[in-house]
Amino acid sequence: MPKKIVITGGPGSGKTSLINFLAKHGFQCVQEISREITLQAQKEGIDQLFLTDPILFSQKLLEGRLKQFKETYYFQKSILFYDRGLPDITAYMDYTSTNYPNYFKETCQNYRYDFVFLLPPWEEIYLQDNERYETFEEAKKIYINILNTYKNYGYNIVEVPSGSLEFRMNFIKKYLSV
């Protein structure tokens, strides 16, 4: 089984760009699914499913990310990077003070990642768009909430400094000794 490694952080911190860069350089990566869920809801006439029905949105995320977590047998290499992990779901619901069933936390506790890399807020690259509705100030608060959530689940967090994609990739590779 490959080592499961999460790349996480607040919105617009460069996670997806870094995941795509890692994939381009031969690493196996699992893509984020929240934009897919948001776009599908928009096709059904719901502008922001997370804001309209946060439990339904989060349930869809939980199902999708749990499926991604369990499908590691498809991957041949020793390392697998994830664009966000299961604890991001409860971090966002806690951020918005959404009450949710206990099975969300139980799932996060029962399905564990090997490493968590956290990308800090980076104003120079931050952009809002149709799926990213948060302001940069909100993104900073979400970042803190994600950090605290992963810590509360017992993870050691490695913060990846801002910099070029190559710099960030090399930072992670050096930390993992690959």
Task: Please state, in angstroms and rounded to a whole number, the distance separating the CA atoms of residues 136 and 13.
Answer: 10
The CATH classification number of 3-176 equals 3.40.50.300
Task: Tell me the two tokens of residue 90.
Answer: 């409860």
Q: Assign 34 a pLDDT band (cuts: 50, 70, 90).
A: confident
Does 131 have pLDDT greater than 70? no
Q: In this prediction, what percent of the chain has a pLDDT beyond 90?
A: 63
Taking Cα atoms as reference points, which of 172, 156, 140 lies closest to residue 13? Answer: 140
Task: Please state, in angstroms and rounded to a whole number, the distance separating the CA atoms of residues 13 and 126.
Answer: 7
Tens of pLDDT, residue by residue over 83-112, are 999 999 999 999 999 999 999 999 999 999
Section 10-29 average pLDDT: 93
Query: Mean pLDDT across the chain, nearest whole number?
Result: 89
Q: Assign 130 a pLDDT band (cuts: 50, 70, 90).
A: low
Task: Please state, in angstroms and rounded to a whole number, the distance separating the CA atoms of residues 174 and 172.
Answer: 5
Q: What is the pLDDT of residue 74?
A: 75
Q: Residue 60 phi/psi, 5° resolution?
A: -65, -40
Task: Please state, in angstroms and rounded to a whole number, the distance separating the CA atoms of residues 124 and 81.
Answer: 25
Taking Cα atoms as reference points, which of 52, 37, 55 lies closest to residue 102? Answer: 55
* Domain ranges, ordered by start, for the chain: 3-176
Section 143-150 average pLDDT: 97
Q: What is the pLDDT of residue 127?
A: 64
